[in-house]
Structure 1
Amino acid sequence: MGWLRDNALAVWLGVLLVSGILLTVVLGYVGLVVTTALGGGAGAVGVLSGLALPYLPIVAVLVVATVISGLGFSWSLLRRLSIPRSERLQSAAERVEREYPAIDGLGLSETVAPPEPSTEDALDDLKRRYVAGEIDEPTFERKLDRLVANESVDDVRAAREREAVLDERSSERSS
């Protein structure tokens, strides 16, 4: 599922191009047959009714595939755009998701949530404040120790969560 999510834009574009080209080819063929039949003196109703049975389901499937892949491509493209991120947008999106449960599956609140500051960002900020003289050396050392301790706690927590997921998957497979 991860590969598909990462490459959704390319997959939707591929399906859109293939279904669009096939739809164009089928409609072009039908148009050519109708034009040829009308040029030969056949009735339009008879020609169209003769083509409707074999080609109408094909055209319907291709139209549906083209529309769905066009919507999927548009949605994937919109998700990749630079979307502003803030806590206010996140809380508004969470309210909308609570109000309309159908929207909850789209992950809108996670998309607009501000990124979590990384340990490296916090360390860079701490160094900048120390060099600028905003904090003294004991404060710098204390905050640095706390930052390093938090990083190791996060690593242990992440390892535990990974192990729990792996154990859960192995128990599902053995069942």
Structure 2
Amino acid sequence: MGWLSRHSLAISSIVLLVSSVLLAVVFGYAALIAYSGLAAGTALASVLMELAVPYLPIVALLLVLVVVSGTVATWSALRRLSIPRSERFGTAAERIEDRYPVVDGLGISEFVSPPEPTTEDALADLKRQYVAGELDEAAFERKLDRLVANESVDDVRAERERRAVLDESSNGSGR
């Protein structure tokens, strides 16, 4: 994760605050000039036309800054929220991403899906089941052996081949 993405909330919040204040100052100054022009008896249309030429690009730039920085600040804040992760949310987000490709680039499904269980998580769950009495010693040892054997791709292939050989020998001996 880069420096910019780690600090995006702070940067976008500062840009939002500064551009909003500048926009308010520009609008206030324009309103003051328009009011003084109207008080002097000048037509409103001519006062607004005189203000539009120098201030319209500044207002447009500040509006763009406010919208973009507000969007980035909102998105950064939402990404930092503690959103519950579940299979149901992950599946719903995947369906939305499949249906609307524009949303797919945001990675919402990865954000709301629970993380893949690690070997350590599976081992901790297995120990919990054994301590709680849900597994006897033989079942615990069998599952522990399977868990340790499945740690690498080579071990998984070896386990499949061993099962295939055992299946063939059990089918051949049962005839």
User: What TM-score, normalized by structure 2, do the two folds share?
Assistant: 0.71
| Greater Cα shift, 26-35 or 58-67 | 26-35
Match for residue 18 of structure 2? 18
Task: Report the AA paired with residue 73 of structure 1.
Answer: A
1:120 corresponding residue in structure 2: 120
Question: 1:53-92 counterparts in 2 under 5 A?
Answer: 53-92=53-92
Per-residue CA distance 1:117-143 (angstroms, 9 max, x = gap): 233332322222222222233443454
Greater Cα shift, 40-49 or 99-108 = 40-49
Q: Which moved more, 1:120-129 or 1:50-59?
A: 120-129
**Which ranges of structure 1 fall in alignment gaps of 5 or more residues?**
155-175
Name the CA distance, whole Å, in 1 between partners of 2:132 and 2:75: 45
SS at match of 2:125: helix
Show the counterpart of 1:6: 6
Counting aligned pairs with the same residue, the percent is 62
C-alpha distance in structure 1 between counterparts of 2:116 and 2:70, whole Å: 33
Q: Which residue of 2 aligns with 1:46?
A: 46
Q: Unaligned stretches of 5+ in structure 2?
A: 154-175
Distance 1:76 1:47, change over 3 A: same
Q: CA offsets per residue over residues 14-43 of structure 1, 9 Å max, x none?
A: 221121111111112222222333334444
How big is each residue's C-alpha offset from its partner over 1:36-55, in whole Å with a ceiling of 9 and x where there is no partner? 33334444333322221111
Instruction: Report the residue type matching 1:132 in the other structure.
Output: A
In the alignment, does 2:136 pair up with 1:136?
yes
SS across alignment from 2:116: coil
The one-letter code of the counterpart of 1:72 is V
> Structure 2: how far apart are the matches of 1:118 and 1:36?
70
Aligned-residue Cα RMSD (Å) equals 2.6
Task: Go from structure 1 to structure 2 and tell me whether the alpha carbon gap of 1:25 and 1:115 turns closer, same or farther (over 3 Å shift).
Answer: same
Q: Residue 66 of structure 1 aligns to which amino acid in structure 2? A: V
Alpha-carbon separation, structure 2, partners of 1:139 and 1:3: 48
Counterpart residue type for residue 81 of structure 2? L
**Counterpart position of 2:111:** 111
Per the alignment, residue 100 of structure 2 pairs with: 100
Greater Cα shift, 48-57 or 1-10: 1-10
Q: Give the aligned residue type for 2:132.
A: A
Matched residue type, 2:80: R
